[in-house]
Amino acid sequence: MYRTHTCGELTLADLGKNITLCGWVQKSRDLGGMTFIDMRDRYGVTQLAFNADDDEALRARARELGREYVIQVKGTVIERSSKNLKIPTGEIEIKVADLAVLNAAKLPPFLIEDETDGGDDLRMKYRYLDLRRNPVRNNLVLRHQMAQAVRSFLDQQGFLEVETPVLIKSTPEGARDFVVPSRMNEGQFYALPQSPQTFKQLLMVSGFDRYFQIVKCFRDEDLRADRQPEFTQIDCEMAFVEQEDILNLFEELISYLFKKVKNVEIGKLPRMTYADAMRLYGSDKPDTRFGMQFVELNPVLQGVGFPVFDNAELVVGIKAEGCASYTRKQIDALTDFVKRPQIGATGLVYLRYNEDGSLKSSVDKFFNQEQLQAWAKAMDANVGDLILVMAGDADKTRKQLNELRLELGNQLGLRDKNKFSALWVVDFPLLEWDDDTKRYHAMHHPFTSPKPEDIALLDTAPGEVRANAYDMVINGTEVGGGSIRIFEKDLQQLMFKHLGFTQEEAQTQFGFLMDAFTYGAPPHGGIAFGFDRLVSIFAGLDSIRDVIAFPKNNAGRDVMIDSPSSISQEQLDELKIEISAKA
Ligand code: ASP
């Protein structure tokens, strides 16, 4: 037996016990005739004491141990004289009688401690060392706990975990596919699933009724916005359900997770239509930890003679409570923020409700006091508030004001990571116009059902058709999304037609699904949660990378194993693949 205990469990209750421990040398220090070593494993840190008076030679060997050596010690649990009450083992130490070096270690390229000196790149290259650090390991412990809780909840609800294939054919979730050549089928390729969407629907046709899977998905998309080319979903599907059933059940799942893992009561999730979310927050994933809702000001601010407002499709403002004291410099900084190319606004107008009750705006020459009063009233502003207004094309202005609202939320400390605000956004549009391709795309995916009462609009006003689609949003992040599906061949065919597929294209790509619909497909619907994202929110982290054991960097590379990489000429020949232009 290598060890009798772990490095995290011995306490005063174990005094006098003869034990054997294994672990890594965290650090060592000499004090007079003594050498102390902190030995670490996954469970904690235990102090080892080597006394020169007891065994000069053993103490000398202890002094030679380097950081991260793997050692085994035998000894007795004794009470420590200077106690560390911050850790569970802090009142004892091991009086070591025997020491074995199981493996020496090179000096690690960065400090393996909670606060490390290693930069991102270095830690990614030596991710196996980074994973020894408590904060990184704790994220994976949390991830494990959440995965177990998800499984246990869904199992209790009668869901069956079914694995679906990884080598499939393209699923249109809106991103590019990763493809895998097939040696046995020359010139043909598998695609890695962007999600198991069609398979889970087929499982409903098979009568599985309640399916889930914690599953890897693959999307070859730009990685700017904290995305990973491979990520994990909690993927679910149910038969004989309506939207309401799904919302209720998965709201329960999330409440269960918050309670079980974080002891947080998340409460009943409010529901907001997509239209309201856009109108009030300029975003389909509103951060509802704070208010600062948009107020549309067209009736109040147009027609006064300020051309920027008069010519705008939308004039819309937010109220930063208590910010009237913002200096000119602070307001200029906000203006610069919205004018950055990523946001692209042309300007920002303010109205300040001064402490003395007077109103001051950046467009005073166009507005008299009475008009400023009406403006402040429309914003429900009080003494001390600062109103910020943007104007222009409705969609663009909403997006820009959303950025400003979030930035102000940050600046004012309203986006506390320990506070959680979850909601459902419902009634998404079915289709979304794409300016590049000049056609409509499925906003969720092509299997999402339109609201029956809107089907007639498909021909006349496709952009106005609402879908039975929903997202769960927590703290301004979309953590999950799904829909009630089309389950009749004719409607599915119609949908493909509206998405610009010819009948042949639809048949070649999705004939299997439409055929399945003709063999007794039940009404069904489902949802998928981004598991990495959910864990990162629970952990209070900004990046999903930190909750993935072996993540890829911004360029989609695994710098530890150096992948992607070239393959040998033999492999290429076998696959009948020629590389035409080398990067
Ligand atoms: N497959 C969808 C997605 O990955 C989720 C769903 O509709 O269930 O977003």
pLDDT tens for the chain, 583 residues long, are 999 999 999 999 999 999 999 999 999 999 999 999 999 999 999 999 999 999 999 999 999 999 999 999 999 999 999 999 999 999 999 999 999 999 999 999 999 999 999 999 999 999 999 999 999 999 999 999 999 999 999 999 999 999 999 999 876 667 899 999 999 999 999 999 999 999 999 999 999 999 999 999 999 988 776 899 999 999 999 999 999 999 999 999 999 999 999 999 999 999 999 999 999 999 999 999 999 999 999 999 999 999 999 999 999 999 999 999 999 999 999 999 999 999 999 999 999 999 999 999 999 999 999 999 999 999 999 999 999 999 999 999 999 999 999 999 999 999 999 999 999 999 999 999 988 888 899 999 999 999 999 999 999 999 999 999 999 999 999 999 999 999 999 999 999 999 999 999 999 999 999 999 999 999 999 999 999 999 999 999 999 999 999 999 989 999 999 999 999 999 999 999 999 876 5
Query: Considering only CA atoms, which residue is closest to atom 3 of ligand 1?
Result: 528
Q: What letter represents residue 393's amino acid? A: D
The structure tokens listed for 275 are 């239209």
Is the shortest distance between the CB of 392 and ligand 1 below 6 Å? no
Query: How far is the centre of ligand 1, averaged over its atoms, from the C-alpha of 249 (Å)?
Result: 16
Query: What is the per-residue pLDDT for 582?
Result: 61
Query: What is the per-residue pLDDT for 200?
Result: 98
Q: Which atom of ligand 1 is nearest to the CA of 171?
A: 1
Q: Which atom of ligand 1 is nearest to the CA of 526?
A: 8
Query: Considering only CA atoms, which residue is closest to atom 4 of ligand 1?
Result: 195
Query: What is the per-residue pLDDT for 226?
Result: 84
Is the shortest distance between the CB of 480 and ligand 1 below 6 Å? no
Query: What is the per-residue pLDDT for 247?
Result: 98
Query: CA 565 to CA 230: how far, in whole Å?
Result: 17
Is the shortest distance between the CB of 484 and ligand 1 below 6 Å? no
Is the shortest distance between the CB of 171 and ligand 1 below 6 Å? no
Query: CA 142 to CA 189: how far, in whole Å?
Result: 37
Query: Considering only CA atoms, which residue is closest to atom 6 of ligand 1?
Result: 482
Total Cβ atoms within 10 A of residue 431 = 24
Q: Which atom of ligand 1 is nearest to the CA of 483?
A: 7
Query: How far is the centre of ligand 1, averaged over its atoms, from the C-alpha of 161 (Å)?
Result: 16
Query: How far is the centre of ligand 1, averaged over its atoms, from the C-alpha of 529 (Å)?
Result: 8
Closest to 31 in 3D by CA, of 69, 59, 72: 59
C-alpha distances in Å from residue 542, one per residue of 341, 385, 539, 545, 553: 23, 30, 9, 9, 15
Among 219, 235, 448, 472, which is best to mutate for testing ligand 1, by the most ligand atoms less than 8 A from CB? 235
Tokens 């141990």 — which residue?
A: 65
Contact indicator for 337, 343 with CB cutoff of 8 Å: yes
Query: CA 125 to CA 387: how far, in whole Å?
Result: 48
Is the shortest distance between the CB of 526 and ligand 1 below 6 Å? yes
Contact indicator for 216, 232 with CB cutoff of 8 Å: yes
Contact indicator for 74, 96 with CB cutoff of 8 Å: yes
Tokens 């083992």 — which residue?
A: 89
Contact indicator for 101, 71 with CB cutoff of 8 Å: yes
Contact indicator for 110, 123 with CB cutoff of 8 Å: yes
- Regarding pTM above 0.85, the answer is yes
Is the shortest distance between the CB of 195 and ligand 1 below 6 Å? yes
Closest to 257 in 3D by CA, of 549, 534, 480, 543: 534
**How far from the centroid of its chain's Cα atoms is residue 97's Cα?**
49
Q: Which atom of ligand 1 is nearest to the CA of 448?
A: 7
Contact indicator for 78, 95 with CB cutoff of 8 Å: yes
Q: Indicate the Cα dihedral angle 470, 472, 478, 481, nearest 10°.
A: -40
Query: What is the per-residue pLDDT for 281?
Result: 98
Among 216, 233, 247, which is best to mutate for testing ligand 1, by the most ligand atoms less than 8 A from CB? 233
The alpha-carbon radius of gyration of the chain (Å, integer) is 30
Query: What is the per-residue pLDDT for 532?
Result: 98
By 3-state DSSP, what share of the chain in percent is helix, strand and coil, each rounded to 5?
30, 25, 45
Q: What letter represents residue 403's amino acid? A: E
Closest to 361 in 3D by CA, of 291, 282, 308: 308
Is the shortest distance between the CB of 482 and ligand 1 below 6 Å? yes
Query: CA 263 to CA 240: how far, in whole Å?
Result: 33
Q: Which atom of ligand 1 is nearest to the CA of 235?
A: 8
Total Cβ atoms within 10 A of residue 171 = 24
Q: Which atom of ligand 1 is nearest to the CA of 196?
A: 1
Is the shortest distance between the CB of 530 and ligand 1 below 6 Å? no
**CA torsion sign, 107 to 110 to 111 to 113?**
negative
